[in-house]
Amino acid sequence: MAARSLLSVLLLLACVLLEPQNARALTLSARLIHRFSDEAKALRISRSGEDPKDLGRWPQRNSMDYYHLLASTDFQKQKMKLGSRRHFQFLFPSEGSNTVSFGNDFGWLHYTWIDIGTPNVSFLVALDTGSDLFWVPCDCIQCAPLSASYYSTLDRDLNEYNPSDSNTSKHVSCSHELCESGTNCKSPKQSCPYTIDYYTENTSSSGLLVEDIVHFAAGGDDGPNTSIEAPVIIGCGMKQSGGYLDGIAPDGLLGLGLGEISVPTFLAKAGFTKNSFSMCFDEDDSGRLFFGDQGPATQQSTSFLPSNGNYETYIVGVEACCIGNSCLKQTNFKALVDSGTSFTFLPEAVYDKISKEFDRQVNATITNYAGSPWKYCYNTSSQDLPKVPSVTLMFVANNSFVVHDPVFPINGNQGVVGFCLAIQPTDGDIGTIGQNFMTGYRTVFDRENLKLGWSRSNCQDFSDAKSMPLTPSKGTPPNPLPTNEQQSTPGGFAPAVAGRAPSKPSAASSRLISSQFCSLRLLPLLLVLFLIVLVF
């Protein structure tokens, strides 16, 4: 019993001494041996049993050979460090960073060309920050038409993906950690199925998950672009429904959400870029997409908000709304920032106040268009739109997001005949800031710091970002959504769904990890203490 008591006291004392807060009270020392000293040579011989003659010529201290070996070793270490630093300042699809909107023909969304597989095949995919999965039409059972003749704005056919035609495609099994439907599989080795139901009525995509490479180009400020092949999990979309058969994203959807299965997450985790990306839409229906972009230092920003304790998607808190110079009371709300929604939707109470104030300030005659869902539309007698009041969204610290042209034109046989306020009401208390409000801005989704950034931009000159340091990514944001949860987007003409990812470890699990680490450090000490107890 006395031995056990002594052992317990010694163990307790050792654990206290080794706790981080008492680290300064513990002094450890060790004698350093230079790697080219005679003592190091003797140790190597004694440990390996090598014949001294087999070691070759051991460099004499301060000789030219001595300094040459030191320098060559340092150069090799530097080369290894540089070789492992694969992150780039900007990353964008290999077809180019340009985005384009085709107007009503393709649901008013923005699209970009992106290449998949080996040999590579190009797809015109919609950009959607409101969902995670990147899917394309594949081994089609029910897909939208892919012929250019079906669309008035295309000059080449759209493509269909076939995994068997790609040398780099890989099977994703039901046992894969990102297979959300794995529990419904008959066998763990079965191909992982997926089904995503989007907010737009009866709009969905379903098929199988596959892994393949996606082709990107990397650019910085010190040389030509570099080709990058990034492994990404892709939805082989065999069957689409609803809006996907009516012109919305006929060639696929690029999910840019916070989930583990989104493209920005794959790029950041592989170390290619910082965990951030930007989109910029200009007045001419074109724009830019850059992965790794954290925006200029002069941009305004606001923090993303958690939902149910987790960072599920890009939700921000609007403090107040202003029409022109008139700021309205009780117009605060939360909003999802979603490029996959064509227009902007506000909670009904906020919408009523904003639309009535807009109607009071606008100098035009209100009108109705048959079959139109838009309530506040106006006639115009000229070919140009009249001056309309701006809509300003106010955030914390007086950061403001100003929409200078919150309307869209109505065209007739002889040009513009009217315009409508491009805002709609939605049920619930969460609105949606759609892609129409992002026009004229470089919008940054900084997932690393969980912030939304914005700055006015013509979407051409990004020289202000060339001073950004090239530092490794810090990984995915904390508190993401559990893998089995989904959230529908509040309103929208185009599809959107919330991101999904594993949750953050709890405080209890963090303490457990700390305890296990302490136990590992104590193993040598425990052996010594046990021998002491035996002596006693």
Sheet of 391-394, strands arranged across = 326-328, 320-323, 391-394, 400-403
Contacts of 43 (CB under 8 A, 6+ apart): 33
CA-closest candidate to residue 420, choices 366, 382, 371: 366
Catalytic residue selected from 128, 132, 212, 446: 128
What's the distance, Cα to Cα, between the start and end of the chain in Å? 11
CB 398 within 8 A of CB 322: no
Half-sphere exposure of 65 (CA within 13 A, CB side): 7
Is 165 among the residues known to form the active site? no
The vertex-389 CA angle with 387 and 392, nearest 5°, equals 140
CB 430 within 8 A of CB 333: yes
Tokens 């020289």 correspond to 463
CB 433 within 8 A of CB 336: yes
Give the strand pairing for 300-303 and 98-101: unpaired
CB 277 within 8 A of CB 293: yes
What's 472-491 look like in SS3? CCCCCCCCECCCCCCCECCC
Is 128 among the residues known to form the active site? yes
Tokens 């919330």 correspond to 498
CA-closest candidate to residue 530, choices 3, 1, 2, 77: 3
| Torsion angle, alpha carbons of 157, 110, 499, 267, to 10 | 70
Catalytic residue selected from 212, 251, 338, 446: 338
Give the strand pairing for 441-446 and 276-281: antiparallel
CA-closest candidate to residue 275, choices 48, 501, 46: 501
Q: Which residues of 141-171 are buried (b: 16+ CB within 10 A; e: fewer)?
A: eebbebeeeebeebeeebbbbebeebeebee
Half-sphere exposure of 250 (CA within 13 A, CB side): 18
Q: Which residues are catalytic?
A: 128, 338
